[in-house]
């Protein structure tokens, strides 16, 4: 379990980087950020796939279809929603909405996967979920206070960003549950190979999406310099960095964690992504968090620490006696 938690922490640190990309490339449309990131991820995965070709040959047609579904929902659509949300509402608000994932995933997994992973008693799980939810609420309160104090704030734009962030939550509630299903059903398979397979499956989706974006920009005479926008060096460099660190290495670390931890516990550890994203966002802002934000972060950490003390109880099938 300790190794699984460390892998989840590493995944959170890598995934937190995706929240700063839309801020550093604020003049780029979200479709380019999403398809650009996963085009880079797919290209990075190709040489890795060649090195891992022996394991990848063991994947069946059904496995590749599953990898493509995960790539579409958990990668392309998720980041399209997230980058759009960040560009409209800034980083903290979408980050904290995404921060509800530990609560959402843990709750869904505790209902959905109890027979496989064991059941975390609600009375023992409730304190950790409550601490996480309270921490998220405090950080959100601080951000909304700052928003109301800004006379130039566009509330409608922020509201749309919040809605798009909720769409990202839906995508990434589905992804880890479905991904864990495959990993737990194939304990003999390499998490590294499965991460690479998802990268390979993402490549054709990204190529089609990027090409269609290029065509649409051309047909509509959009004032946009294709194929890499007005700052090609910054765009290509950042997409490659996020593609390698967040998409491939982050997925690899998460797969390692998912094979070692119950899904309902692993879901709560996504809080590491929230903490990393907040840290990166405040570094870009050039100032530290408010005391209210710090209190929220402390509660998030306390909720995770509490969750680690809760052990799942096996579910006895109805009619079974011992």
Which pTM was predicted? 0.80
pLDDT of residue 315: 66
What are 155-182's pLDDT values in tens digits? 788 889 989 999 999 998 899 889 988 9
CB 240 within 8 A of CB 42: no
CA atoms within 13 A on the CB side of 116: 17
User: How far apart are alpha carbons 175 and 165 in whole angstroms?
Assistant: 15
Q: Classify burial at 124, counting beta carbons within 10 Å of its beta carbon; exposed 0-12, middle 13-18, buried 19 or more.
A: middle
Which parts of the chain fold into alpha helices (H)?
Answer: 2-15, 21-24, 30-51, 53-56, 61-70, 78-89, 92-98, 101-112, 114-117, 122-149, 155-185, 191-219, 232-242, 250-260, 263-268, 271-285, 291-307
Phi, psi values for residue 202, rounded to 5° = -70, -30
Q: Would you call 105 helix, strand, or coil by DSSP?
A: helix
For position 322, what pLDDT does the model report?
Answer: 41
Where in the chain are the domains? 2-307
Q: What pLDDT, on the 0 to 100 scale, is given for residue 117?
A: 65
Q: What does the pLDDT read at residue 258?
A: 81
**Residues contacting 46, CB < 8 A, separation 6+:** 200, 203
Q: pLDDT under 70 in the chain at which residues?
A: 114-119, 264, 267, 308, 311-312, 315-322
Residue with tokens 């090609």: 232
């Amino acid at each position: 379990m300790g190794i699984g938690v460390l892998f989840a922490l590493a995944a959170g640190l890598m995934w937190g980087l995706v929240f700063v990309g839309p801020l550093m490339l604020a003049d780029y449309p979200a479709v380019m950020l999403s398809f650009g990131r996963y085009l880079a991820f797919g290209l990075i995965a190709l040489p890795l796939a060649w090195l891992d070709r022996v394991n990848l040959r063991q994947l069946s047609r059904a496995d590749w279809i599953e990898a493509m579904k995960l790539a579409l929902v958990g990668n392309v659509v998720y980041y399209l929603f997230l980058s759009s949300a960040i560009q409209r509402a800034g980083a903290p608000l979408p980050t904290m909405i995404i921060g509800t994932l530990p609560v959402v995933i843990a709750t869904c997994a505790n209902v959905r996967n109890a027979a496989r992973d064991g059941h975390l008693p609600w009375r023992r799980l409730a304190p950790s979920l409550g601490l996480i939810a309270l921490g998220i609420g405090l950080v959100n309160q601080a951000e909304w206070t700052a928003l109301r104090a800004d006379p130039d704030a566009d509330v409608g734009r922020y509201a749309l960003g919040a809605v798009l962030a909720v769409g990202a939550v839906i995508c990434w509630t589905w992804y880890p549950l479905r991904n864990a299903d495959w990993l737990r059903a194939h304990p003999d398979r390499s998490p590294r190979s499965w991460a690479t397979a998802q990268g390979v499956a993402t490549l054709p989706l990204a190529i089609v999406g990027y090409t269609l974006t290029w065509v649409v920009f051309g047909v509509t005479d959009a004032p946009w310099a294709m194929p890499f926008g007005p700052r090609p060096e910054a765009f290509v460099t950042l997409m490659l960095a996020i593609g390698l660190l967040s998409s491939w290495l982050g997925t690899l670390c998460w797969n390692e964690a998912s094979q070692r931890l119950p899904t309902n516990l692993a879901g709560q550890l996504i809080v590491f992504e929230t903490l990393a994203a907040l840290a990166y966002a405040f570094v870009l802002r050039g100032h530290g968090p408010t005391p209210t934000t710090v209190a929220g972060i402390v509660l998030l950490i306390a909720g995770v620490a509490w969750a680690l003390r809760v052990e799942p109880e096996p579910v006895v099938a109805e009619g079974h006696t011992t």
